[in-house]
Amino acid sequence: MATGRSHRPATRSRGIPEATVARLPLYLRALTALSERSVPTVSSEELAAAAGVNSAKLRKDFSYLGSYGTRGVGYDVEYLVYQISRELGLTQDWPVVIVGIGNLGAALANYGGFASRGFRVAALLDADTALAGRLVAGLPVRHIDELESIVADNQVSIGVIATPAGAAQEVTDRLVAAGVTSILNFAPTVLSVPDGVDVRKVDLSIELQILAFHEQRKAGEDDRQEPDGDVPAVMPA
């Protein structure tokens, strides 16, 4: 669902292509599920199927990590979980601020997957003074005027924007000026950021429109395949 724009080179410092980086969370999710079932090893074919990629691409991706598996045995699940988590930076705690605590922002704050994946919600911010002090997911909502001090005090480098589109750029500018270098944007707008700042955009309406396109195309194909009731399917000789 997430689409994004990176202001860093297409290949990262360790020589791992961005396309491979984008697939690492898919592998980690599949591996975590295997680990929870106490599965010790997995073949490239099984893991590729679980992650929704082909096995040749998976083996190529893992070669960038220096992990080649063992012929006839496969990959060690626990070691791969550690290796990919380390590569993604998930072996350390990442403080995150969420800006915009409407329905979407509150839902994100209540999402339990952040903590289990190494992300700690350090603060919830909103411009509405009526929300200040209200508890959401066990955290008090704080006014946007505190943004800079919160970023500095918590050493925040990742910001999540769930504001209306009209407020998103101003919030982005303040986050960047405060030292945030990565932004996850849920606002339906394109953000302008300086070099060295990464933006990942999640736009649910765009994803639904793409699905609508595919549904329309499938419906059109069905219409073409159905013979007209007034015309015989096979013309008489």
- The counts of H helices and E strands in the chain are 9, 10
The pair phi, psi for residue 102, each rounded to 5°, is -85, -155
Determine the Cα angle at 17 with ends 11 and 23, to 5°: 145
The pair phi, psi for residue 50, each rounded to 5°, is -70, -30
Known binder of ligand: residue 220?
no
Angstrom distance (rounded) from CA 210 to CA 231: 34
Known binder of ligand: residue 158?
no
Known binder of ligand: residue 229?
no
Q: Are 141 and 126 in contact (CB under 8 A)?
A: yes
Q: Over the range 193-204, which residues count as b (16 or more CB within 10 Å of their CB) and which as e?
A: beeebebbbbbe
Structure tokens given for 61: 């991706």
Element (DSSP H or E) covering residue 158: strand 158-161
Angstrom distance (rounded) from CA 52 to CA 46: 10
Q: Are 32 and 83 in contact (CB under 8 A)?
A: no
Angstrom distance (rounded) from CA 193 to CA 186: 15
Known binder of ligand: residue 102?
yes
Report the binding-site residues.
100-105
Instruction: Tell me the binding residues for NAD(+).
Output: 100-105
